[in-house]
Amino acid sequence: MSKKVAFYTLGCKLNFSETSTIARGFEKEEFERVDFSEEADVYVINTCSVTENADKRFKTIVKQAQKSNPDAFVAAVGCYAQLKPEELAEVDGVDLVLGATEKFKITDYLNDLTKNDRGEVHSCEIEDADFYVGSYAIGDRTRAFLKVQDGCDYKCTYCTIPLARGISRSDTLDNVLNNAREIASQDIKEIVLTGVNIGDYGKGEFGNKKHEHTFLDLVKALDTIDGIHRLRISSIEPNLLKNETIDFVAQSNSFVPHFHVPLQSGSDEILKKMRRRYLSNLYVDRVKRIKEAMPNACIGVDVIVGFPGETDEHFLETYHFLNELDISYLHVFTYSERDNTVAAEMDEVVPKKVRSKRSKMLRGLSAKKRRAFYESQLGSVRTVLFEGENKKGYIHGFTENYVKVKAPWDPSLVNTLHQVELKDIDADGLVRFEFVSSKIMA
């Protein structure tokens, strides 16, 4: 009888793509993949180090696995496993902890599935994480996350990612294109490009710092692949989002008018303390350039509140900066201290209550921005890709420019593209529509 394995992924799209690659490794070893809520012989938890909650949730997830099968073998992999392997190894029920380079070889460590008294740690020095493992995830039938780059050479003062994932390195262009073709052959309509710092694509493509390709080369090459209806850029640093890329996306076959561009603060003083590689005026310039090339583009923004030294004045500077920008939504992160980062040693710590209040204010602004963006799209004809989940009797989908729509559940719509006219905004903030034609586009 084949052994069973279950996976739980915390954190970002990149983690999801890597979990899928690890899972395919188990399938080659003839493990049967089951849902995490089911009884399995091995439970693999892919950890994240970005938010405080990810640390706390880890213990809860281990307990959940033990409840399903007290004798199961529990392995922790991923960013938190690289940063604090000993801490995870101490958690009751954890048998194996694998760092950044070891996680893709997890099946090599599973000769014996006997429970350990304490987690066994295999964690490299992060300097050794200098090779690239390509991966992609098929989260549902409608879209796939394709990893093109890993690691980061930036030294932002609040971030542990370079410590958890190592230097910036890229997949070869041939490899990315082959993975994209493989995804397209599985009738998946949309690919989301992911990485730690994807605008840095090309660096480390050959295991050294030699550049043959750039992010623009990657975008142009992917645009030529048959069978992919939509390509989406997940998140790209403002200083790496070049005019040529914006202009190419504006006229491309497959890339959609949706950009997610991290800002982190609207105050130049705080940006300098964060050691970001741009100031607010560059960010304004990027937003203007996108909107000139694609007036209906959706622009998402990452922002951190409560960074050490952020006064009320700095915060209001950020608030007003964002309020005046032509953006569509915010991802708001409340600053949390991370060991071994420069920011954790900084003075002028912002009280947790103040961080929380600022976060709430920006979430309110995000809701206002999203609604204004949705209102600006009413009456327009867009293409919707419908998703596969029945959510309380409704099917949801996204337009190419990331407007979320809803309609009564109809299984025949799943994973199809339709032209629709956006009509009005429902009480839950989602958009209602009418089909422009009954013809399925794909």
- Contact (CB, 8 A) for 242 and 212: no
269: number of Cβ within 10 Å: 15
Report, as ranges of residue numbers, the positions in the chain whose pLDDT lies below 70: 50-55, 111-118, 123-132, 139-141, 206-211, 438-442
- Contact (CB, 8 A) for 45 and 77: yes
Number of residues in the chain: 442
b/e sequence 206-237, b meaning 16+ C-beta within 10 Å? eeeeeeebbbbebbbebbebeebbbbbbbbbb
Cα(432)–Cα(424) distance, rounded to whole angstroms?
A: 5
| Beta strand pairing call for 190-194 and 230-233 | parallel
Note the pLDDT of residue 109: 82
> Which segments of 63-167 are extended strands (E)?
73-78, 96-98, 120-122, 135-138, 143-147, 149-150
Q: What phi-psi label fits residue 78: left (phi over 0), alpha (psi between -120 and 50 degrees) or beta?
A: left
Note the pLDDT of residue 177: 96
Cα(253)–Cα(102) distance, rounded to whole angstroms?
A: 38
Note the pLDDT of residue 96: 92
Note the pLDDT of residue 161: 87
391 burial via Cβ count (<10 Å: 0-12, 13-18, 19+): exposed
| Helix, strand, coil tally for the chain in percent (to 5) | 35, 25, 40
